[in-house]
Structure formats: structure tokens, C-alpha cells
Amino acid sequence: MPALIIRNARILTLSGSPIARRGAEMRALGVIPQGEILAGADGKIAAVGQKIENVPADAQVIDAAGRVLMPGFVDCHTHACWAGSRLDEWTALLNGETYPDLLKKGGGMLATVRAVREITRNQLAANLRGRLDEVLRNGTTTIEIKSGYGLTLEAEIKMLRAIQRAATDWAGTIVPTALLGHGCEGSSLDDYAKLVVRDILPEVLREFPGIAVEAFCDQGAWTIEACVRLLEKARKHLPIRVSADQFSCTGMVPEAVRLHAACVAHLEGTTKDQLLALAESPVVAVLTPLTGLHLNQRFARGGYIVEKGGAVAIATNCNPGTSPSCSMPLAIATAVRFCGLETEEAIVAATVNPAHVLGLTDRGTIETGKRADLLLLHHKDERLLAYEMGGNPVAQVICGGKVVA
């Protein structure tokens, strides 16, 4: 693979601290108004600056013509691996039913669980692979994808293997997560949670060492007691993540802080005192604004978390029921409108901070030695990322130093 030189670009380097950006740090984009980037044949950034000398003679040349060049988006919270359709349920939601109502009737995620169990691993991987092409076109070069629509050991392992299979021939990077605390198999959540800890967690750990484990605490999901039981066990061996308070304040956020979770996602129903405690901790708040846009017009107070010195990331929460979109540009635009973020904060929340959530230190910024995952926008002003809604601002996508979309 030849080297790649991009010239005459407005570069958002986002260079600086290797850890998650917090508070006012989230407004620093490290702009080079007119500069160049050289990606080496190894797929890493070899140089960045106003003018780069000693460019290989055979390097591919892209003239950015003054447009914005920035790190690829990192979508750190998705359920992009699924089967079946929830379109009929959307009609029911439009007619006044609530998502908890659908769950009580055996719909919601339980409908997706049934569909996932009915197809093969190869079919599940093929479904996901088709979605990943759209993910890449929208500028996401790294995506986290959860299991959680299996519930049984066999079905959860099938999902994780399908995610692993889809990752083998995709230009971007997939980070799998074992969402073992999601729904319930059987009549007793307490009994099911004990089964997950005793039987499913060890098998997942055996086949997928180092994978992060997640639990979701809310109405229709797991209780705080069940989540803590799973995460206390998992954190002895694995990174842990939490989803909480999409519909109501459960009290899980303080537990996530105590357990040193990498992040807490959703937070639409979290009280201000608990958001303050989250902001004062090392735990990253992951906003999922497209869920509120699609489902119920409820949004997490991301601006308040940043104001209080916290670290925030943005994710699409792509899934068939409550967030049918994989567009990080739309998530950015929605977060600025409804979560209280400034444009600069939203850009950091879509690149550096979600990379930190996923434990990836080699991307999210444009610095020498980092992976050359880059986006060339159609625009010369990055504020248009948040200003425009519904279009695709991405002109070219570069993964590992290679133009892929």
C-alpha cells in the first residue's frame, strides 16, 4: 500500500491528553487552519503539520481544497447486530403505546431475541455486514457492537461469533461487547441473573478473553441488584460498562461510579445530583440522543455534565427498536440541539472520548504514530457538522491510511 498525502486541509488534530477530555478541554480541537497529513504505508500517521517535506514519490495525493480533515468517528454504543423487524411496533408507538408497554406484551427487544434465535450465525453476520457499509459511508471507522439479543448461552455466543465474523472483512474496526445483563429468560430475574453469572459469563470469558461486559439497569431490563451482581463478578477479569436510566432514575449511576465502570450510557432519566456525581468521577457519560429523537423526545443533560467538569461521549445506540440509525453526524446534530453540547464538545464526544471508552489509545486524534483513520468532509467549517441535519457531510473515508469510501 503506498503512502497517502493530504494537502491544503483544515485539520482538526484534537491532539493533547491521551485520556478522556473533560469540561473545558472538550472545546479544544487543535486546529491547523491549512496543513498536511502524511499516512505511511503501515497505515499510521507519519507526519502532520503546515508543510511536510520528504514525501514518498509514489504517495497518493489528495487535495482537500480547504475542507475539514478530522479523525474518524468512533461509535462506542450500538446494538447493530440483529435480525427481524420492529416496524409494526413503531406504528404502535406512534399511536400512543410506550416501549415498556411493548415489553410487557412480549415485544420490544424480546421480539428481536426471537428473531435472532431463528437464524444462523452466518445469516446474522451477513445482516450486520450489510449495515456496516452504511456505517462506513457515514464516517464511522470504529464501532462497538453488543450481543444481548440472545439471552441463552448458545444464542449469546452465536451473536458474538457473528460480530467477530463480520469484522474480518470490514475496513473499519469492530469492538464487541457482551451485553449479558439486558433481558430475562424465564419468570424470575433473580434466578436468571444467577445463571448468567454462574454459567454464561465464564463461557463468554473462555471464548472471548478480555471482552467488555455490560449490564442495563432500567424498566424492562435488569434491576440494580442484578446488575451489581454481574458487574462485581465480571470486573475481576474484564472491563465493565453500564447502561442506565433511559426511562427512569434507578440509582445505578452511583454504583457504576463505585464499580469503576468505563462508562454509563443513556442517562435520560438520571437526576441532577447523580449526574453531578458522574461528572466528578472518571466515568464517561455516553449520550444516545438519537434514541430520544426517535422514541420519546427525552435527552440526557450532556451540557450540564460538561459544565461540571465531566467527560462526555456520543453514540448512535443503533438498534431496530429505539434508534434505527447509524449516523454519527445526525447524533452530533441532535446532541447539540437537545443535549446542550457545543459543536466543539460534540466533535470531541464523537472521536477522542469514545475511543477512550473502548480502551483504544491509537485513534481519535491526528498525531504522529496514531492509526490513520480520517474523514475528509464536504465542508470548510466544522460547525456545519452540527448545523446540517439529515445529509452526509463525509466526502471521503480513510481507514488505516487507505481510502475506503
**pLDDT tens-digit profile, the chain (405 residues):** 899 999 999 999 999 877 899 999 999 999 999 999 999 999 999 999 999 998 999 999 999 999 999 999 999 999 999 999 999 888 888 888 887 788 788 788 889 999 999 999 999 999 999 999 999 999 999 999 999 999 999 999 999 999 999 999 999 999 999 999 999 988 899 999 999 999 999 999 999 999 999 999 998 899 999 999 999 999 999 999 999 999 999 999 999 999 999 999 999 999 999 999 999 999 999 999 999 999 899 999 999 999 999 999 999 999 999 999 999 999 999 999 999 999 999 999 999 999 999 999 999 999 999 999 999 999 999 999 999 999 999 999 999 999 999
Cα separation, 312 vs 204, in Å, equals: 29
Cα separation, 362 vs 301, in Å, equals: 29
- Side by side, the strands of the sheet bearing 173-181 are 73-75, 140-146, 173-181, 212-217, 240-244, 263-266, 284-287, 312-314
Cα separation, 241 vs 180, in Å, equals: 11
pTM of the full predicted structure? Answer: 0.97
All domains of the chain, ordered by start, with CATH? Answer: 4-72+364-403 (2.30.40.10), 74-357 (3.20.20.140)
